[in-house]
Amino acid sequence: MNLKGISQKDLAILISGHLAQRGIDVVLTGGACVAIHTNNKYVSGDLDFVLISSDKLKETKEFLQSIGFHPEGRCFRHRDTEFFLDFVSPPLSIGDEPPQEIIKIHKKGFTLKLLSPTDSVKDRLASYYYWDDRPALEQAILVSESCEIDLSEVRRWSEKEGFKDKFQIFLERLRNP
């Protein structure tokens, strides 16, 4: 499979589409969602997919190797693209909750499932909240500035996760760039 010059978004669509044809359901999360939601104002070096069923990991690895991806630690690389793939075991969650909404992008007969902008903000804030990941905070702000998000839902989730103070930092940064 020739992947030279393929965009991160198109690679995500291609990989998830081929996996779906094999009965392997995945959802894109992480920084690649930020890249898609912000029209590449942020570019991630990887694509983080969550497997919906953990019993599909072996089939996923076999497929990836059949199209030229090779394992590198827990990730997969292909000589024709700078992006690497990471497959995370289920469950699909953001903190202690499942995502509120999975959106779909359709292209050339393939479908990519990914976190909605609101859930993408929560996903990035989770990295900030739990690991003090400052770049993830910046990514949450980028998505919030680029897309319509449900700020009351982000607030509810943040408080439920126990991070009311860090949510206030996010809110201040969002309102006063």
- If asked whether residues 94 and 44 sit together in one domain, one would say yes
For the cut 90, the answer to whether the pLDDT of residue 54 exceeds it is: no
Q: What is the pLDDT of residues 96-133, one digit of tens each?
A: 999 999 999 999 999 999 999 999 999 999 999 999 99
Average pLDDT, the chain: 96
Mean pLDDT score, 80-92: 94
List beta partners, residue 85.
47, 76
Mean pLDDT score, 145-154: 98
- Please state, in angstroms and rounded to a whole number, the distance separating the CA atoms of residues 98 and 171: 23
For the cut 90, the answer to whether the pLDDT of residue 42 exceeds it is: yes
Q: 63: domain range? A: 8-115
- If asked whether residues 147 and 111 sit together in one domain, one would say no
Listed residues 63, 83, 115: the one ending a domain = 115
- Please state, in angstroms and rounded to a whole number, the distance separating the CA atoms of residues 29 and 66: 24
- If asked whether residues 108 and 131 sit together in one domain, one would say no
- If asked whether residues 73 and 20 sit together in one domain, one would say yes
pLDDT at 55: 87
Residue 89 confidence class, pLDDT cut points 50, 70, 90:
confident
- If asked whether residues 129 and 88 sit together in one domain, one would say no
- If asked whether residues 141 and 54 sit together in one domain, one would say no
Please state the pTM of the whole predicted model: 0.95
Is residue 51 domain-resident?
Answer: yes
- If asked whether residues 76 and 132 sit together in one domain, one would say no
Cβ contact 65:103 at 8 Å: no
